[in-house]
Amino acid sequence: MIKVGFIGLGTMGGPMACNIASKGNDLRVFDIAPAAVAKLVARGAIAAVTPRDVAASSDVVVTMLPDAPEVEAVAAGPDGILAGLRPGSVWIEMSTIDPGTSRRLGARVRAQGSDMVDSPVGKTAEHAVSGTLTLMVGGETATIARVRPVLDCMGTDFFHCGDLGAGHAMKCLNNLLATTLVAVNAEILVAGAKAGLTLDVMTAVMQKTMAWNNQLAIAYPARPLRGDFDAGFMLKLAHKDCRLGLTMIHDMGLTAPVGEATLAACQEGLDAGYGRNDVGVLLKLREDPAGVQVRLPGHTP
């Protein structure tokens, strides 16, 4: 049994924490939403008063938060993680943030005699529930081995990407590419429908060419092609991840004009009021001005 502390019990973090508890670990949790904490307490977790309390009571601390400012907020101050970390403990940072933040915090953690691993996740909330997330891990091999039993509670696809920060770098670039595919698929499907092509014809041809991609194969049929734009992965989070990926690219002195266009498409969706919708709402964003809809047979908005 491992003493684990979990901070951030949202759409992804809540089920991830549940899976840690279900494997028999001693779990202490913290979130600013009392209802989220109550769900975990009902599963046997102990509610913590502050992030410091979480860290002081845990061998492994996990954070799963919206962005870097939230991660830094729970880390700093007299009630923060850094104030409570015990020597020899490990902090696993699983949010989607920039690699620079994780490396900077990691240096402070190591200075206190503890260590840090970054492990942002891939896939969906459904995979968070089933414990089959993709884990993109950065950190020292020996430290990762120590926390591998905790990571294995949450994911089944494990990738050691490199040193601390490499996991966050991989996640930012992965999500920029994934969102780019969502955006360009929307443009092409709507253009095809406007040209008189059916969805069946377009997908049949694309499956036999280099145009095929997992967004068309999996994500699009699951939601947007059914007229379902309810939140799975919210557009505002896709926008944030694209911004992080582009900032990382620019900081290396590189350019990414296609990625910039994707960020602009996401911003267009936010401006249209779709921020809390699924990222697949970019299809609707293109459909409305075109006066066409692209749907699977039997599905209407």
CA 23 – CA 19 distance, rounded (Å): 6
CA 73 – CA 84 distance, rounded (Å): 14
For CA atoms 3, 8, 10, 16, the dihedral sign is negative
Region of 234 please: left (phi>0), alpha (psi -120 to 50) or beta. beta
> What residue has token string 């840690």?
20
171 is catalytic: yes
User: Could you tell me the two tokens for 212?
Assistant: 């095929």
Indicate the DSSP class of residue 49.
Answer: S
User: Pairing between strand 90-93 and 60-63?
Assistant: parallel
For residues 117 and 89, the answer to whether their CB atoms sit within 8 Å is no
Angle, nearest 10°, between helix axes 166-194 and 235-251? Answer: 120
| Active-site residue identified among 3, 23, 39, 171 | 171
Catalytic residues: 171
